[in-house]
Amino acid sequence: MAETNPIEVQQALKGASYPTDRKTLTELAKKNNASDKVVDKIAHLKSDRIEGPDQVEKEMFRG
């Protein structure tokens, strides 16, 4: 199975308002019909408070 890519994540988080929290982003990804893999990765971000999309990308793709 291919790795999650940044474009999938951008699509999953379309319409997000920042700052926000991990739970809100997870629900938005589900609403945007993101794959289960993307939803799971968002649900397991290290930080609960998310300041912006750059933080999501950093936590998901750069550890």
Instruction: Give the pLDDT band of residue 3 (cuts 50, 70, 90).
Output: confident
Per residue in 18-38, pLDDT tens?
999 999 999 999 999 999 999
What are the φ and ψ backbone dihedral angles of 34, each rounded to 5 degrees?
-70, 155
Over 80: is that where the pLDDT of 63 sits?
A: no
Dihedral over Cα of 16, 21, 24, 25: its sign: positive
Instruction: Give the pLDDT band of residue 2 (cuts 50, 70, 90).
Output: low
- Whole-number percent of the chain with pLDDT over 90: 89
pLDDT score of 1: 44
Please indicate, yes or no, whether the overall pTM of this predicted structure exceeds 0.85.
yes
